[in-house]
Amino acid sequence: MLKVMTFNILVGGGEQERFELILDVISKACPDLLILQECINWENSKRLNQVSEIMNAKFSYLGLARPRGTGNCYNVAISSTLPKEEFTSVKTYNNAAFLGHCIVELNLANGLKVFGTHFDSHSENLRFVEARYLRSLINNFDNGYYLLAGDLNALSSRDPYPKNFAELVKQSGNDKYHFPPRFEVIQEIESFGWVDMLYYIPTKKRDWITAPRMRGGVKIDYRTDYIFSSPRLAEKAEKVEIINCGNASDHFPVIATFNI
């Protein structure tokens, strides 16, 4: 079994008090493969080491993102309980011409290829470029095991947004999804063949919110955090869940478990 967890920890995890909450969330979830976004100022490895310790991880890696205008690097961190030898290669893509932050590519001995990422927050146009760049990294799924996990900062038309969603977004003043809200990035990802794991396993009750927000006095619930898989890997899925992590972050973790 392989339990994969993606989690945007918000600006490096904040002060130590909040970071302790993040560590607690990770410890209780017990993932085999953890992908973290917004690992700002983690270059000294201190916090990645703390994550690795709480997980009893055998492998850890920090994907260095390209600097934003503020100088901050929204790094992507990987930590895993799998033996280090299982990771046959790891690579970071952070070309500023195509990516807002970075994409980390992991290749495992069992044939699994993992992409952990954090897409741009500013514009659907920029995110679409990132989705196309991701497409360029894969010839085709070729019946293989592929996984995509991260905060994509993009909306899915599959999610049960209210009928007045566009008006609510406009009232909130949140322009990152545009007016009216756009869904092209997730549609582009799915058009390649990626399977949205949240909707792959049938369920009567589905928690779907990963980013609850209160902006401009307007409360809106979004999903911007995803785990996608190739069709063959989707067949191995056992469980998908979203964890309400309270005040640990402004994003909720997404977890998928596969029988591989």
Give per-residue pLDDT as tens, 115-163. 999 999 999 999 999 999 999 999 899 999 999 999 999 999 999 999 9
What percent of the chain is modeled with pLDDT above 90? 96
Burial 154-164 (b: 16+ CB within 10 A, else e): bbbeebebeee
Give the per-residue pLDDT at 209: 97
Residue bearing tokens 């920890």: 9
Give the per-residue pLDDT at 203: 79
Average pLDDT over residues 16-33: 98
Give the per-residue pLDDT at 200: 95
Average pLDDT over residues 48-76: 96
Give the per-residue pLDDT at 201: 87
End-to-end CA distance of the chain: 5
Alpha-carbon distances, residue 29 vs 4, 221, 225, 254 (angstroms): 10, 23, 17, 10
Alpha-carbon distances, residue 208 vs 161, 169, 233 (angstroms): 10, 18, 21
Give the per-residue pLDDT at 206: 86
Q: Strand 33-37's sheet: what is its strand order? A: 59-63, 76-80, 33-37, 2-8, 254-258, 237-242
Give the per-residue pLDDT at 202: 82
Q: Which residues contact 142 (CB under 8 A, 6 or more apart)?
A: none
Give per-residue pLDDT as tens, 74-90. 999 999 999 999 999 99
Give per-residue pLDDT as tens, 214-258. 998 999 999 999 999 999 999 999 999 999 999 999 999 999 999
Name which of 187, 65, 197, 42 is nearest 119 in CA terms: 65
Give the per-residue pLDDT at 120: 97
Q: At what angle do helices 184-192 and 124-136 cross, to 10 degrees?
A: 10
- Please report which residue ranges of the chain form alpha helices under DSSP H: 16-29, 46-55, 124-136, 165-172, 184-192, 231-234
Structure confidence at residue 205 as a pLDDT band (50, 70, 90): confident
CATH number for the domain formed by residue range(s) 2-152+185-211+221-258? 3.60.10.10
Mean pLDDT of the chain: 97
Give the per-residue pLDDT at 232: 97
Give the per-residue pLDDT at 207: 95
Give the per-residue pLDDT at 204: 76
Q: How is residue 86 annotated by DSSP?
A: G
Structure confidence at residue 69 as a pLDDT band (50, 70, 90): confident
Dist CA 91 CA 82 (whole Å): 18
Give the per-residue pLDDT at 10: 98
